[in-house]
Amino acid sequence: MSGDITPNEILRHYNQVDEASRLRRGWFQLEQARTQELILRHLPPVPATVIDAGGGAGAYACWLASRGYEVHLIDPVPRHVEQARVASKQQPAHPLASAEVGDARHLPQGEAIADAVLLLGPLYHLVERPDRIACLREAHRVLRPGGLVWGAAISRFASLFDSLSSGFFDDPAFAPILARDLEDGQHRNPTTNLIYFTDAFFHRPGELSRDFLAAGFQIVELVAIEGPGWLARDFDRLWNDPAQRERLLAAVRKVEREPSVLGASSHIMAIGRK
Ligand SMILES: C[S@@+](CC[C@H](N)C(=O)[O-])C[C@H]1O[C@@H](n2cnc3c(N)ncnc32)[C@H](O)[C@@H]1O
């Protein structure tokens, strides 16, 4: 286990890319719409307490706060926490309950105080399984009996699909990165190219379920977030046409649990119950 220190690689990456604007670009908009849909599918009504561990710049935390939830955000990147605090101030009627620098493996909250925990980041940035299990056990500790956790993973095959559809499959610098992703899911980027991301672990769908079960959760759902929708040619044209956007979302929903398609999604979501 690597302790509770976030690797410098991860901190350096997020100081160079703008996580605060990511979900407004290209197919990340599909990731956001589907993530929101999957959260609302199971989230209890207000009043309820949500911990967003790995909440980044606050996209989901501020959205849930604006819907009346008591939301606590934790993230190891100080820049993200600052961005989340700024976003929270922009909705003074529904601010975040708290936004603090921290680590999903060591939450500051007491036992059994939360109705929901979001882990939309830590499970792919924690590259060692004992750390991922520790993170999930920590979510289990802070949840009330019956409480829910949403955990996002990056698919083992995401970088293969991404390289083919985005056109960097033949970059010699990317070849060894992809080879290792496919070999053991350990994603490392020794280049300075930011689109090749940073230290991460890429799950097979079954590995994500096993992590949840090992931490004591029952699996409520295991679904594709974007399904194959992120690979759409000319994504922006489809997304900006309301009728095509609905068709795309309906198609993704239709195949969200199809085992033979799960690994083609960029992200996979497991929802677990304590
Ligand atoms: C791609 S961002 C996603 C942010 C947001 N949750 C979302 O889904 O849009 C991944 C986040 O995970 C955070 N993270 C990485 N390691 C973490 C850890 N050990 N504990 C909590 N958060 C972590 C990063 O700092 C980053 O903000």
How does pLDDT run across 124-151, given as a tens digit for each residue? 999 999 999 999 999 999 999 999 999 9
Query: Whose alpha carbon is nearest atom 7 of ligand 1?
Result: 120
Ligand 1 pocket mutation, candidates 11, 15, 125, criterion most atoms within 8 A of CB: 125
Single-letter residue type at 179: A
Please classify residue 85 by burial: count the beta carbons closer than 10 Å to its beta carbon, then call 0-12 exposed, 13-18 middle and 19+ buried: middle
Report the pLDDT value the prediction gives residue 167, as an integer from 0 to 100. 95
Residue in this structure with the two tokens 């909705």, named with its chain if needed: 91
Mean pLDDT of the region 79-89? 98
**178 CA distance to ligand 1 centroid (A)?**
22
Ligand 1 atom at minimal distance to the Cα of residue 118: 6
d(CA 76, CA 99) in angstroms, rounded, equals 11
Report the pLDDT value the prediction gives residue 1, as an integer from 0 to 100. 42
Ligand 1 pocket mutation, candidates 19, 142, 150, criterion most atoms within 8 A of CB: 19
Look up residue 55 and give its two tokens: 């909440």
d(CA 272, CA 52) in angstroms, rounded, equals 15
User: For residue 151, which of 269, 50, 33, 274 has the smallest C-alpha distance?
Assistant: 269
Report the pLDDT value the prediction gives residue 6, as an integer from 0 to 100. 79
Query: Whose alpha carbon is nearest atom 1 of ligand 1?
Result: 121
Whether the pLDDT of residue 80 is over 90: the answer is yes
Buried b (16+ CB within 10 A) or exposed e, 26-64: ebbbbbbbbbeebbeeebeeeebbbbbbbbbbbbbbbbb
d(CA 24, CA 11) in angstroms, rounded, equals 22
Whether the pLDDT of residue 257 is over 60: the answer is yes
Do 118 and 50 contact (CB within 8 A), yes or no? Answer: yes
Name the pLDDT band for 4 (thresholds 50, 70, 90).
Answer: low
**78 CA distance to ligand 1 centroid (A)?**
11
Mean pLDDT of the region 36-45? 98
Do 116 and 44 contact (CB within 8 A), yes or no? Answer: yes
**248 CA distance to ligand 1 centroid (A)?**
27
Ligand 1 atom at minimal distance to the Cα of residue 120: 6
**242 CA distance to ligand 1 centroid (A)?**
30
Name the pLDDT band for 59 (thresholds 50, 70, 90).
Answer: very high
**244 CA distance to ligand 1 centroid (A)?**
31
**203 CA distance to ligand 1 centroid (A)?**
16
The runs of H, that is alpha helices, within 148-224 are 158-166, 175-184, 205-214
Ligand 1 atom at minimal distance to the Cα of residue 22: 9
**77 CA distance to ligand 1 centroid (A)?**
8
Pocket of ligand 1 (CB under 6 A): 6, 10, 14, 19, 23, 53-56, 59, 75-77, 80, 103-105, 120-122, 125-126
Rounded to a whole number of angstroms, the distance between the first and last alpha carbons of the chain is 24
pLDDT digits 0-9 by tens, 196-238: 999 999 999 999 999 999 999 999 999 999 999 999 999 999 9
Kind and range of the H or E run holding 50: strand 49-53
**257 CA distance to ligand 1 centroid (A)?**
25
Report the pLDDT value the prediction gives residue 3, as an integer from 0 to 100. 56
User: Mean pLDDT over all residues of the chain?
Assistant: 96
User: For residue 3, which of 121, 124, 111, 127 has the smallest C-alpha distance?
Assistant: 127
Do 90 and 57 contact (CB within 8 A), yes or no? Answer: no
d(CA 250, CA 230) in angstroms, rounded, equals 14
Q: What SS3 state is found at 209?
A: helix
Query: Whose alpha carbon is nearest atom 3 of ligand 1?
Result: 121
- Torsion, Cα 21 18 105 59, to 10 degrees, reads -10
**136 CA distance to ligand 1 centroid (A)?**
14
Mean pLDDT of the region 148-173? 97
Mean pLDDT of the region 48-58? 98
Instruction: Determine if residue 96 is left, alpha or beta; phi over 0 gives left, psi from -120 to 50 gives alpha, anything else beta.
Output: beta
